[in-house]
Structure 1
Amino acid sequence: MSRQIVVGVAGELEPGQRKLAFIDGRSIVLFNIDGTIHAIDNSCPHNGASLASGQLEGCVLRCPAHGLRFDLRTGCMPGAGGLSLTTIPVRAVGLNLVVSLDGPDATPLDAPAGSATT
């Protein structure tokens, strides 16, 4: 089952903005790309570097550590093969932004997660 966790307020991220959120010791980053919110684990699959400050080029995020590029819509590197990010389902529910995380304790909506805007 998956847990539904509030990570912010719908509409708080303008296009091009991002937000870092912490959920049960897990760091995720939310991005608004042309009005669509995308969420990923804040960890590069290559060596675990934080992706929160990576350069965003359209839908493609560049890892600040080694320059690997990932499409935030799919989590995949452009082209064939390669590493992929962990993408996290995110949606607006009423006035909240909610992520769906896999876990043993499924609840309708957990309390808001601690977060900080970057």
Structure 2
Amino acid sequence: MTNILVVPASVDLGIGKRARVQANGSHIALFNVDGQVYAIDDSCPHNGASLLFGKLDGRWVQCPAHGLRFNLATGCLRGGGMNVRAYPVEIAEDCIRITLPTPVTRHQ
């Protein structure tokens, strides 16, 4: 199952801009690269540094703490190994929608 996070219209995500939103207790970094919007977890798996302010090189973001580079489309680390979660993004009716996994609930 999935759920949809609708990014508030107050979030300015024009071309070349970045933003952070929160969902299910986690921060998601949004990047608009040449009109394509990407959404990834805003926490480097190496040491938890925010990726939002990392250096962009095309569809790659470099962690500002230790230089690891992640693909914005896939979340994969350049060279393999650790990854961050990448979320599907849809833009419809001037609205950004991010598909999130549904949190697992456990019954006791």
Q: Could you state the TM-score of these two structures normalised by the residue count of structure 2?
A: 0.84
Aligned residue number for residue 8 of structure 2 = 8
| Contact in 2 for aligned 1:8/1:98 (Cα 8 Å) | no
Aligned residue number for residue 103 of structure 1 = 102
Aligned residue number for residue 44 of structure 2 = 44
Amino acid at match of 2:77: M
Q: Distance in 2 between matches of 1:16 and 1:60?
A: 13
Deviation beyond 6 Å, 4+ runs, structure 1: none
Aligned residue number for residue 73 of structure 2 = 73
Amino acid at match of 1:89: P
Q: Distance in 2 between matches of 1:83 and 1:50?
A: 15
| Contact in 2 for aligned 1:61/1:69 (Cα 8 Å) | yes
Q: Percent identity?
A: 46
Q: Structure 1: which 5+ residue stretches go unaligned?
A: 106-118
* Deviates most, 23-32 or 96-105: 96-105
Q: Could you state the TM-score of these two structures normalised by the residue count of structure 1?
A: 0.78
| Contact in 1 for aligned 2:68/2:78 (Cα 8 Å) | no
Amino acid at match of 1:66: H
Amino acid at match of 1:37: V
The Cα RMSD (Å) is 1.9
How many residues are matched?
Answer: 103
Q: Structure 2: which 5+ residue stretches go unaligned?
A: none
